[in-house]
Amino acid sequence: MSVSAAFPHDVGLLEALATTRAIRRYTDEPVLTRDLEQILWHAGRAPSGSNRQPFRFLVLRNGPNAEAAKALLGEAFRAGWATKRSGDGYRPSRFADSMQHYVDHFEATPVVVLVCLDRYREASPYEGASVYPACQNLLLAARALGYGGALTMWHLGVEDELREMLEIPANVALSACITVGVPAGRHGPLKRKPLEEVVFDGRWGDRPTWITA
């Protein structure tokens, strides 16, 4: 039975946008190949500057290369979280426990996707605009098929080693690292700041009078 069959209810676009959380705990179930293909196909439908579609997806599943890369990433993620946890003063909490589980079990992650940008010009601080929409599409497609994922940047701690190990060309940027698997928990309502705290009308600081929710 496919994972999507285990999540039989349809997820509308607005529901998915309102309920897709970062999933950092995964079961041992694999991501089905046909589902992974669908996830990446929908990721590739994302908009990009001048429709150049510069995003590339380097998938790590099984095999010597993938296992070696996951081991390298696991070390980077544990070091990154240890630094963040200490520096930011995280106390025991559901979030902290989730992050610790995430990094401690990184090597067991069913699918890791390095989302890359194949540059056609010099590096720019704005180039992410052509690759991060694909990241969001990937996460939403995973949600629609019953999976969960989390976007991270801790791969940058071992970027040079990853480039050499996976033979990534110098002109290709490693823009994000997304993990995907069957959620051990679930998606659900998200806790976010009220809209009136994040929207200004006409000029900075002016609160909209038309927000009712």
Sign (positive or negative) of CA dihedral 60, 63, 69, 71: positive
The 8-class DSSP code of residue 54 comes to: -
Q: Is 175 helix (H, G, I), strand (E, B) or coil?
A: strand
Q: What angle do CA 78, 83, 84 make, to 5 degrees?
A: 100
Burial of 78 (C-beta count, 10 Å sphere; 0-12/13-18/19+): middle
Q: Is 196 domain-assigned?
A: no
Where do we find the tokens 């676009």?
13
Q: Is 47 domain-assigned?
A: yes
Q: What does the alpha-carbon distance between residue 158 and residue 133 come to, in Å, rounded to a whole number?
A: 24
Burial of 23 (C-beta count, 10 Å sphere; 0-12/13-18/19+): buried
Q: Is 195 domain-assigned?
A: no
Q: Is 118 domain-assigned?
A: yes
Return the pLDDT at 91.
84
Tell me the β-bridge partners of 118: 172
For residue 43, give the nearest of 104, 122, 111 by alpha carbon.
111
Return the pLDDT at 80.
94
- We report the CATH number of the domain holding residue 176 as 3.40.109.10
Q: Are 141 and 39 in contact (CB under 8 A)?
A: yes
Return the pLDDT at 132.
96
Return the pLDDT at 108.
96
Beta-carbon count within 10 A of 133 CB: 16
Tell me the β-bridge partners of 173: 117
Q: Is 71 domain-assigned?
A: yes
Per the structure, the count of domains in the chain is 1
**Local mean pLDDT, 10-residue blocks, the chain (213 residues):** 47 88 94 97 95 96 95 96 90 89 96 96 90 97 95 95 97 97 87 91 94 81
Q: Is 97 domain-assigned?
A: yes
Q: What does the alpha-carbon distance between residue 4 and residue 165 come to, in Å, rounded to a whole number?
A: 34
Domain containing 21: what range?
4-184
Q: Are 179 and 212 in contact (CB under 8 A)?
A: no
Q: Is 210 domain-assigned?
A: no
Return the pLDDT at 28.
94
Q: Is 206 domain-assigned?
A: no
Burial 151-188 (b: 16+ CB within 10 A, else e): bbebbebbeebbeeebebeeebbbbbbbbbbbbeeebe
